[in-house]
């Protein structure tokens, strides 16, 4: 799950950079802000799921396969549900800052990015 959050954050950064670089046209701004909102919403969902697993760890904590092992061994339609079931390594808390885990901070940041994307859409509509 943490790897999915990282890839989602990279996607957010790429969309934001492309939107800022190509964002002179209103259509590009709307598409970029919409994609930012969708990606940030997905990232927030994954971070919230990992936070839930950290608060309520599964009774059987098996590490299972890693992300790359699952992609190599199974078709994508089986990998996606397996990612969200979580495992022992998803419930482990390796690091905290100000009492929050990495998943908590990711959730807050994805929510902030989603709010900014929504504000960009709303402000752009009132202007244009």
String of DSSP letters for 15-71: HHHHHHHHTTSHHHHHHHHHHHHHHHHHHHHHHHHHHHHHHS--SS------HHHHH
The more confidently predicted of residues 44 and 82 is 44
Which tokens hold the place of 79?
């990998």
Max Cα separation, the chain? 54
pLDDT (average), residues 71-84:
72
Q: Residue 100: beta bridge partners?
A: 97
Checking if the pLDDT of 124 tops 80, the result is no
Q: Give the pLDDT of residue 28.
A: 80
Q: Specify the residue for token string 């919409």.
A: 34
pLDDT (average), residues 30-35:
87
How far apart are alpha carbons 117 and 35 in whole angstroms? 9
Question: How many percent of the chain have pLDDT more than 70?
Answer: 74
How confident is residue 30, by pLDDT bands cut at 50, 70 and 90?
confident
Question: How many percent of the chain have pLDDT more than 90?
Answer: 16
Q: Give the pLDDT of residue 35.
A: 92
| CATH node for 2-127 | 1.20.1550.10
Which tokens hold the place of 39?
């990606």
């Amino acid at each position: 799950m943490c790897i999915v959050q990282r890839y989602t954050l990279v996607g957010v950064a790429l969309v934001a950079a492309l939107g800022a670089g190509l964002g002179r046209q209103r259509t590009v701004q709307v598409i970029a802000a919409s994609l930012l909102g969708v990606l940030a919403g997905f990232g927030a969902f994954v971070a919230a799921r990992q936070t839930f697993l950290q608060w309520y760890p599964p009774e059987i904590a098996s590490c299972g396969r890693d992300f790359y092992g699952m992609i190599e061994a199974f078709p994508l339609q089986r990998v996606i549900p397996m990612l969200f079931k979580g495992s022992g390594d998803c419930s482990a808390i390796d690091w905290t800052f100000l009492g929050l885990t990495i998943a908590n901070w990711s959730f807050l940041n994805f929510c902030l990015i989603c709010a900014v994307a929504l504000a960009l859409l709303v402000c752009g509509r009132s202007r244009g």
